[in-house]
Structure 1
Amino acid sequence: MDQGGAPPVFSVTAQGDGEHRHVLVTGEVDMATADTMFQTALREPATRLLLDLRAVTFFDSAAIYAVVRLSQRFPAALTVLPSRQVRRVLEISGLGEQEWLADA
């Protein structure tokens, strides 16, 4: 049912130089968008990945799974910059102390 609201906003962009990759995500990361975030992060080869989630407003279990998979692909080479909402979800899920999670 259409409730007249604007559709959720999601965007993901990436740039890099072959060694470092910076992925900027905005809006809602959920089961409809998490794989797009994951695939965008892996689209070009890189040895280090910066996942900027500071503009993410919603983050669900599919998003958590995508980040965990990225941490496995980039062991000791992933940095996640969380929004307040993302940090809270990761803390609740038991991932608040991961080395890849940057301080606010």
Structure 2
Amino acid sequence: MDQERADQNFTASAVVESGRVVVTIGGEVDMSTAGAMFEAATREGTAAATLDLRNVTFFDSAAIHALLRLAERFGEGLTVLASPQVRRVLEISGLSTQPWLRG
């Protein structure tokens, strides 16, 4: 499933394979798009999620909140692939050692 929001700086696409949703996010994740990121990752019938944030250029506190909600939902089934910008925000917020963070 592909979704493009009115925000030209945000893209989200999701594919479900064998109970895992793989979500690719691009652009800016902020308070106007964090909900769409969360929705893209919470597909019915999925027990695990990979969130590919390697093309994210901006990540704010609303994005962190959505990410933490996904970590609560999926637990050990969550994998997050981070861009340098996302990694830096997670380092500043004290989340860089989370087991779900990769790359």
Normalised to the residue count of structure 2, the TM-score between the two structures is: 0.89
User: Alpha-carbon deviation of 1:8?
Assistant: 4.7
1:3 maps to none
Residue 18 of structure 1 deviates from its aligned partner by 4.6
Query: Whole-Å Cα distance in 1 between the matches of residues 69 and 12 of structure 2?
Result: 17
Residues 1:8 and 1:58: Cα distance change in structure 2 (over 3 Å): farther
Task: State the 1:17 CA deviation.
Answer: 2.4
Question: Does 1:42 find its partner at 2:42?
Answer: yes
Gaps of 5+ in 1: 1-6
Quote the Cα distance in structure 1 between the aligned partners of 2:55 and 2:44: 23
Tell me which protein shows more strand as a share of its residues. Answer: 2
Runs of 4+ in structure 1 over 6 Å off: none
Counterpart in the other structure of 1:14: 14
In the superposition, the TM-score normalised over structure 1's length comes to 0.89
* Corresponding residue SS for 2:55: strand
Give the superposed CA RMSD.
1.2
Contact 1:8 1:28 in 2 (8 A): no
Stretches of structure 2 that go unaligned for 5 or more consecutive residues are: 1-6
The aligned amino acid for 2:33 is T
Aligned pair count?
A: 97
Moved more, 78-87 or 11-20: 11-20
Aligned-pair identity (%): 54
- Bigger CA radius of gyration: 1
